[in-house]
Amino acid sequence: MKLLSRLYDPAEGEVLLDGRDLRDYHLDDVRREVAVVFQDFFRYDLSAADNIGFGEVRALDDRDRIRTAATDAGAHDTIDALPKGYDTVLGKTFDEGVDLSGGEWQHLAISRAFMSDARILILDEPTAALDAFREHRLYEQVAEFTSDRMVVFISHRFSTVRMADLIVVVEQGRVVEIGSHDELLAREGRYAAMFNTQAARYR
């Protein structure tokens, strides 16, 4: 993820975008077109609006856009119920700060990504703190509101993975399988073994 977003450049090999080395693109262009939600996303001890608005700093004062991003990511109801709504200070740094649950913070982080106009959205275990119902709803929203973007998500939950158009199985740093969910199940390889093992828990 950090290579794709050019937080780092590879020490060996190359990352290609449209067949062109990512390092050949202007760094500002790459950063503008790639939005990332890391598993260890940052929590700002500022207002709920600022936590979302930082996804597109130029629109930090655009409350309608912030509210839309929060609604699309499923965070609006949580924010609306806070003492001062979007103006509520979050976190524990300040006396008036209101802390959120892990899942609620996660929705805010995804809202922040939705603020961006980036055409590539990268999500690292974005539903780790959510229950199964919230996870399913979130991915429905992601699918609906990112239909014109490329979404790369990293997950060990196969209920999530199976939604992808293309699945890449990485083991010990190497790609071992590529295909759709049905194709990989039919091959009865590493993906099928992992999927069936996880699915067996629910039978």
Token pair for 158: 């196969």
125 vs 178, higher pLDDT: 178
Q: Could you tell me the pLDDT band of residue 159, with boundaries at 50, 70 and 90?
A: confident
Q: Could you tell me the pLDDT band of residue 157, with boundaries at 50, 70 and 90?
A: confident
Give pLDDT, residue 202. 60
Query: Which stretch of 21-30, 46-55, 94-103 has the lowest confidence by average pLDDT?
Result: 94-103
Question: H/E element holding 80?
Answer: helix 76-80
Give pLDDT, residue 128. 66
CATH classification of 16-155, choosing from 3.40.50.970, 3.40.50.300, 3.30.465.10, 3.90.1150.10?
3.40.50.300
Strands 150-154 and 20-21: unpaired
Query: Which stretch of 76-85, 103-112, 119-128 has the lowest confidence by average pLDDT?
Result: 119-128
Average pLDDT, the chain: 88
Give pLDDT, residue 84. 96
- Cα angle 99, 125, 49; round to 5: 35
Residue 137 has pLDDT above 80, yes or no: no
Give pLDDT, residue 67. 97
Rounded mean pLDDT of 70-95?
A: 93
Report domain extents, the chain. Answer: 16-155, 157-203
Token pair for 112: 């922040």
Q: Using one digit for the tens of pLDDT, what is the confidence trace for 163-172? A: 889 999 999 9
Q: Using one digit for the tens of pLDDT, what is the confidence trace for 176-189? A: 999 999 999 999 99
Q: Name the residue type at position 13.
A: G
Give pLDDT, residue 129. 63
- What is the DSSP code (8-state) at residue 62? -
